[in-house]
Structure 1
Amino acid sequence: MSILAQLADALATGSIEVIDLTQPLEGTTPILELPEEFGQTAQFRLEEISRYDDRGPAWYWNNFRTGEHTGTHIDAPVHWISGRDGLDVSEIPVNRLVGPAVVLDFSAEVAADPDFLLTVDHVQGWIAEHGEIPAGAWLIYRTGWSAFTREQASALNKDENGSHTPGMSAECAKWLAAETDVLGLGVETVGTDAGQGHSQDPMYPCHFHFLGNSKLGLAQLTNVDRLPVTGAIIVAGPLKIAGGSGSPARVFALVER
């Protein structure tokens, strides 16, 4: 039996489970908020064209409006100034949208401190326990934050000092992006950086280092608690937007049971 035939059989019998890692895209989907002086992304909005009525008696369809980085989405290298000469979302080779996953679970630390930052020592400790991160792997950073990302206020967790959500130290972002062969970074938060990423050096270091090193970003994932530490395959399916800096995406995992 060919490898693809084995895969088809495993999917049919349930020995490989398909896990949806995508949040629903709707009017209440949380979005990033930048300081007032900057341009803002649009909230998702569905506009009905017809629904089995005089506008179209046999069909239902909609227009929609949203930003490229709304909901579960992918960041292309060109999204950040450090990757401005890199690939836009339509240019990402499809084989770079599929890869093995390694899951670094720091949800307990985040429960104790929403401003928790992943460090190089944390990652090296994970490697000592689980082995080297495979080349071409999605690094999935589990924080438990998907429990809060169905509503704007809880997703951003803001006070007078800004947003308080977990992320990664600048040193860790630089090391992972420049010194490892990861495909990209996947997170549960609204963006790949910490809520206080604006005060790091460089500002928003995950965006700066990962996209500047031609890596990808996946944000606002869910169900990552259902993934094994290693062994899953992640598939990300963004829209092929010509010139796009990113796109909402349907992201799912293949997990052997």
Structure 2
Amino acid sequence: MPVLRMLLDAARSGSVRIVDLTTPLQESTPILELPPPFANTSRFRLEELSRYDDRGPAWYWNDIHTGEHTGTHLDAPNHWVTGRDGLDVSQAPLTTLVAPVAVIDKMAEAGKDADFLLERSHVEEWVAEHGPLPEGGWLLYRTGWDARSDDAAAFANADENGPHTPGVSPTCAKWLARETPIVGFGVETVGTDAGQAPALKPAFPCHSELMGAGKWGLTSLRNVEQLPPTGAVLVVCPLPIVGGSGSPARVLALVEE
């Protein structure tokens, strides 16, 4: 039987489960909010054009207003100064957008410490248990933060010192970017870096290292807990915005039962 026919039959029978990892886009969808004087992205908004009325009697449609980095979205290498000469979001290789995925679960640690940082040793322990990171694949970082995604204040978890959300240490980010075979890194938080990343040395290590190495980021993921540590396939569907630094994306995973 042809491979694609087998895949369709498996999805229909439930032997391959399709998991939606995407945060729905609406005005309340949390966004990254930078302090002054930095510019901020737009919140998602629908502007009605017609709804079965004199503006269009038989059709309903809207303009959409949003930023490239709103909701579940893909970060392209050219998003960061270290990758400024890298690929834009329209140039994402199809083998990056459909690729194997590994999941590391640090929900317990992040539940105890909102500023928890993933270290190289944590990933090496995962590799010792589950095998090597996938060649040309993705690593998703499970922290349980998606449970907060319907509450913008809880999602940001900010105080007078700024947001407190889990992230990745500079040493780990450098290692993931330069020494592992992954093409991308995904998180449940609003950005791939920790909330306190501006205070790290160097600042924003995930953005700096991964984008500088030509790798990709995914943020604001949901339902990562439904994926096994290895064996699933990630399907990332951004808008092919020419010259774009990123795009809202529908992100799915195929999980063999």
Q: TM-score if structure 2 supplies the norm length?
A: 0.99
Q: CA deviation at 1:151?
A: 2.3
Contact 2:119 2:169 in 1 (8 A): yes
Match of 1:77 in 2: 77
Moved more, 218-227 or 200-209: 200-209
Match of 1:248 in 2: 248
Unaligned runs of 5+ in 2: none
Residues 97-135 of structure 1 show CA distances to partners (whole Å, capped at 9, x for unaligned) of 111111100000000000000001111111111111121
Measure the CA separation in 2 of the matches of 1:133 and 1:93: 19
Match of 1:14 in 2: 14
Match of 1:54 in 2: 54
Equivalent residues in 2 for 1:112-151, closer than 5 Å: 112-151=112-151
Measure the CA separation in 2 of the matches of 1:53 and 1:132: 58
Q: Secondary structure at the match of 1:109?
A: helix
Q: CA deviation at 1:229?
A: 0.9
Amino acid at match of 2:231: G
Match of 1:163 in 2: 163
Match of 2:205 in 1: 205
Q: Does 1:35 align with 2:35?
A: yes
Amino acid at match of 1:61: W
Amino acid at match of 1:125: E
Contact 2:96 2:137 in 1 (8 A): no
Q: Percent identity?
A: 60
State the number of aligned residues: 257
Equivalent residues in 2 for 1:173-192, closer than 5 Å: 173-192=173-192
Match of 1:4 in 2: 4
Measure the CA separation in 1 of the matches of 2:113 and 2:212: 29
Amino acid at match of 1:8: L
Q: CA deviation at 1:96?
A: 1.3
Q: CA deviation at 1:216?
A: 0.5
Match of 2:235 in 1: 235
Match of 1:221 in 2: 221
Amino acid at match of 1:151: D
Unaligned runs of 5+ in 1: none
Measure the CA separation in 2 of the matches of 1:78 and 1:151: 30
Match of 1:24 in 2: 24
Q: Secondary structure at the match of 2:231?
A: strand
Match of 2:87 in 1: 87
Q: Secondary structure at the match of 1:230?
A: coil
Q: Does 1:97 align with 2:114?
A: no
Structure 1 runs of 4+ off > 6 angstroms?
A: none
Measure the CA separation in 2 of the matches of 1:181 and 1:132: 9
Match of 2:111 in 1: 111
Residues 173-220 of structure 1 show CA distances to partners (whole Å, capped at 9, x for unaligned) of 000110011010010000000000011122110000111101100000
Amino acid at match of 2:157: N
Match of 1:45 in 2: 45
Q: CA deviation at 1:246?
A: 0.1
Measure the CA separation in 2 of the matches of 1:18 and 1:34: 34
